[in-house]
A and B are shown apart, each in its own frame.
Chain A
Amino acid sequence: MFDHIDPRSPTPLYAQIASRLRLAVSAGELRPGDALPSVRRLASQLRVNPATVVQAYRDLEAEGFLDMRQGTGTFVRDVPVGRRTSERVYQATLLVRQLIANASRLGVSLDELHSAILEEMGAKAS
């Protein structure tokens, strides 16, 4: 799940981990009641500072995505459908922004980008 965590990115690691988990919950990859790895396990698996994992979990708890239960672990909460949809829409917006930024850096026009998207989507749909 955390294959794309990039320590070199200017986005702090805790924010990257939180964002990945938020999306996993919103897209149904993680279901309500699912247990997340312990801080100790995830920190050692990703070779990141345990404080980084704690901060990601705490932020998600404050947003209502996770429930940290003393002694038992961290669990996915039942997040309302509307909240999950808006999170996916937000992620889609970020992806498009990134795409547009890359295109303009490479000198690809918006029209060219747009028709390429339509074409790829058509190919996928058929």
Chain B
Amino acid sequence: MTHAIAIRGLHYRAGRSFEIPNLDLSVPTGSIYGFLGPNGSGKTTTIRLVLGLLRPRAGDIRVLDRPMPHDAPRVLARVGYVPEQPHLDPTLTVREVLRFQGAFYPTWDHAWAEELLVAFDLDEHRLFGKLSKGQKGKVMMLLALAQRPDLLVLDEPTDGLDPVVRRDMLAALLDYVSEHGATVFISSHLVHELERMCDWIGVMDQGRLVTELPMERFKRGIKRLVVSGAPPIGDPTPFSVLSREPNGASSETWLVRGWEPEMQAFFETGGASLQRVIDLDLEEGFVELLRTFRTPRREEVR
């Protein structure tokens, strides 16, 4: 499998408070990779490292098979970036913004930029600074798409925007991906949106990548189990137990990872019984994963 983004052994530190101690991350070429994590977990920092805007203290970052930040100019010509905060000159009109940005990219698609202007219902004569938040978001997405990139790096592109705007932006994004087969690396707090379109999921917390899996495996593997006559804590299990909580005297709720249906046999042979297997959606799985990652192992991780 080739990777549009490959990070190996990355170490980054900003001041005393924030550190990414040792990050490995792989975004398969052609995937739509959802990058999840609470605020302050290191998502935006990782994105800036990927784009060569920050320098790591150690480790390798390869983007579209070239080393970053060393080959930044060649790489960035093929990367569309939507930052968390729009960074364009507010005194330019939408038309001027397009003309300015388009000049940087030999691959700029004039015809499609015009189509997107209409599809996004943007007024080319308005000043960028006078646009609503949603209109600004659409301009940013338009700019990233019209350069016809091989990789799109989107940092919370639709967070805080209304549902109609989000829908238009994501429809345009997926339209482009269908046609061009580009890779998408997208961070967002809108987990249900990611759940629809991503085929890979990476979860950051406290500067660490807690998990990185194909979406289906992530969702299939994380379950809540209701177990009665539970075996003692510490018995080896074929899956990993993230937490166990008693429900009254007779049963316990387990949160497990790496679950497969055949593992039911584990309970029967041990004299326990599995009463229910409860599916979690991406958001619940994500929240539970963070909760268990943080509480019991904090000392061990330090």
Contact = CB atoms under 8 A, between A and B. Distances in A.
A and B bound?
Answer: yes
Interface of A: 7-10, 12-13, 39-40, 43-52
A39 B174 CA distance: 10
Contacts of A46: 196
Interface in B32-82: 32
B219 A44 contact: no
Contacts of A13: 196
Interface stretch (B124-132, B148-156, B165-173): B165-173
Contacts of B283: 8
7 contacts: A7-B195, A8-B281, A43-B175, A43-B178, A46-B196, A47-B193, A48-B174
B174 A8 contact: no
Nearest to B181: A50
Contacts of A40: 175, 178-179
A58 to B, nearest CB: 15
Given A12-B216, A40-B178, A51 B199 contact: yes
A6 to B, nearest CB: 9
Contacts of B282: 7-8
B198 interface: yes
B281 A49 contact: no
Contacts of B95: none
Contacts of B175: 40, 43-44
Among A10, A12, A13, max chain B CB count under 10 A is at A10
Contacts of A12: 216
Kindly state the interface size class of chain B when it binds its partner: 20 to 34
Contacts of B195: 7-8
Contact of A44 (B174, B220, B281): B174
A9 B167 CA distance: 20
A20 to B, nearest CB: 15
Nearest to A46: B196
B123 interface: no
Given A7-B192, A8-B192, A8-B195, A50 B177 contact: yes
Contact of B178 (A7, A8, A39): A39
A45 B178 CA distance: 12
Rank and list the top 8 A-B pairs by shortest CB-CB distance, nearest first: A40-B178, A8-B281, A10-B279, A50-B178, A44-B175, A7-B196, A7-B195, A44-B171
A45 B192 contact: no
B178 A44 contact: yes
Contact of B172 (A7, A10, A44): A44
Nearest to B171: A44
A105 to B, nearest CB: 10
A10 B177 CA distance: 25
A43 B174 CA distance: 6
A12 B179 CA distance: 23
A52 B199 CA distance: 9
B197 interface: yes
Contacts of A48: 174, 196-197
Nearest to B220: A10
Contacts of A8: 192, 195, 281-283
Contacts of B177: 43, 49-50
A125 B179 CA distance: 49
Given A44-B171, A47-B196, A51-B199, A10 B178 contact: no
